[in-house]
Structures are given as structure tokens and as C-alpha cells.
Amino acid sequence: MAQAWRCAGLSWTAGGPVLIWDGGRRSALTWGKTVAFGVAEGGARTCVGARGNTCPLAAQVSARSTGPRCEECARLDRAHSVAADTLADDPRPYRVYLAWFGAGMTKVGITAERRGSARLLEQGAVCFSWLGTGPLMAARRTEELLRAALRVPDRIPYAAKRAARAALPATGEERAAEIAVLHARALELTGWPESLAPAPFRPVDHVEAFGLAEAPAPVGVVGELAAGGAVSGELVAAAGPDLHLATDRGVLVLDTRLLPGWELVPAGGRRVEVPVRALKERPAAQDGLF
């Protein structure tokens, strides 16, 4: 039997996307590289555990879920985290950002300063700008200020982000236009925490980093993996957790969050032998931001 590997997920570095494997092995992904794997026969997707510990129940996880943990391990993994608002005493500086994913889709968020723009790449932000830097709770209060005063959300459904990437404006200036307006309005608000230092508007565009400008539009999305199935194709673009693969069924999007929890084995060719669904269409454009 071929050696089986377990994927720990996708990470973004200065050089591009990288697949991480249990045990620390890393696979850098470049445009044109073949991404190919099979799913071990007779297996099931199992919980990856939490905070470095294996799941005590070896619980099964839905093949369609983008979360690779059972309910209990997911709860433990989120404990003492910034995302869950349980890490209020972190002394390191944080940045507030405005991220744009498509027309009418801008969100506010925070990330640790030490992480640079990695968080924005992981989310699939097409364009972003920093808004300010300061202590964690000051950054969190600023995030809440924008939600309340300007009605800027702090979350956007991922399916909507993916659909929006199929119809992006042609120029960086157009892609930055909405966050330019919001950035200016945010700096005019009263109630900013004194300990948060505002940042000038300097948009960063990720279309080139994601390879979206030259890549063919995807025609479908891998819906789930299945024991005995296989996915193989040539990497033509990537954004957030998504890999865009040229396969025998056209360009398909593979959400790498579906990989953890499976035993994966080598495969070849350009075949796709797992369930595929149509790419969700972008909802009608909004009349305005607010």
C-alpha cells in the first residue's frame, strides 16, 4: 500500500501558497505545478484534534465541512483565541484593516502586526489597506466602531467571496475604490481609541499574487472528498484556501479546508473522481455600500 499523508492545511508565505503536512513537511505551490492526490480506500474523515492533541474519540467529521474538527475539539481549539475574544491580555500590537473581496463586499478586521499581510491572503482579500495599529483591545474597539457607525461587517460568507472573484474590475484603482471611500470616512469618525495610531490609505492589491488576471474562469467547485476518490490538475491560480486546478473537467476550485482529516495517497493524470458542484453565481450588485 502507498504511503499515506495527512494535510494540515494551506498557508501563505511571501513566495506564495504552501501546503502543510502533518510532521512539518511543506509543499510550495507554483503556477503550472501539478497538484494530485488520491483518498485512501475504505477510510473516513476523522477529527484532527485541538491544540496539538489528538481527538480522544477519533470522531468522524462531515466530508463537506470546511472545519476538520468535531464539535468538542472545535470548542477547545477556539479557546484563548483572538477570534473568539478570549485573548484580551495579549500585549503584542495589532492592526486594523479594511479588506475588499468584490463589489459591495468590504469588511473590517484585525490581525497581529507580526503576521504582516498573511491574514489577508488567507482570507482571499482581493485588495486591502491598513487602518491603524495599537493594542489588541484598542484594535477591537475600532473594529466595533466601524461596524456600528459605518455598518461595515466583520465577516463575509466565503461562498460570496469566491463568487465575486469571477467578475472583478480590470484595474487596481477600481478594485481599491470602495475601501478608499471607507478609509476616509473611518478616519473622520469620533470615538477612536487614543492608543490606536491611524495609518494612511495605501491599498495593496492581490490579483497578481493570486494569479487571477491570467487564469481561466473556474467552472465548478469540488464539493467534498470521498474514500477512493482522486483530484489531479495543474495549478493556475489560488486565493485564500482555494486552489484553481485545470483538470479533465475544466478549471475547478479545490477548497483546501476539505483536505485535513483524510488519509491522502499519490495519484496522477488530470482526473477528478470526487463530487463536483456548479460554481455559485454572484448575487446582483448592490446599489451602494450602505
Residues 233-244 have a mean pLDDT of: 97
pTM above 0.85, yes or no: yes
B/e letters for 64-93, b = 16+ CB within 10 Å, e = fewer, are eeebbbbeebeebbeeeebeeeeeeeeeeb
Beta 204-205 vs 105-112: how paired, if at all? unpaired
Assess whether pLDDT exceeds 80 at residue 227: yes
Assess whether pLDDT exceeds 50 at residue 133: yes
Give the confidence band of 2 by pLDDT, cuts at 50, 70, 90. low
**Which pLDDT score is estimated for 281?**
64
Torsion angle, alpha carbons of 242, 209, 281, 221, to 10 = -20
Assess whether pLDDT exceeds 70 at residue 290: no
Assess whether pLDDT exceeds 90 at residue 174: yes
Assess whether pLDDT exceeds 80 at residue 34: yes
Spell out the residues 6+ positions from residue 146 whose beta carbon is closer than 8 angstroms to its own: 108, 131, 152, 182, 186, 189
Give the confidence band of 89 by pLDDT, cuts at 50, 70, 90. low
Residue 113 in grid coordinates: 502586526
Please name the helix (run of DSSP H) or strand (run of DSSP E) that holds residue 270, with its range, or none: none
Assess whether pLDDT exceeds 80 at residue 90: no
Tell me the percentage of the chain whose pLDDT exceeds 90. Answer: 82
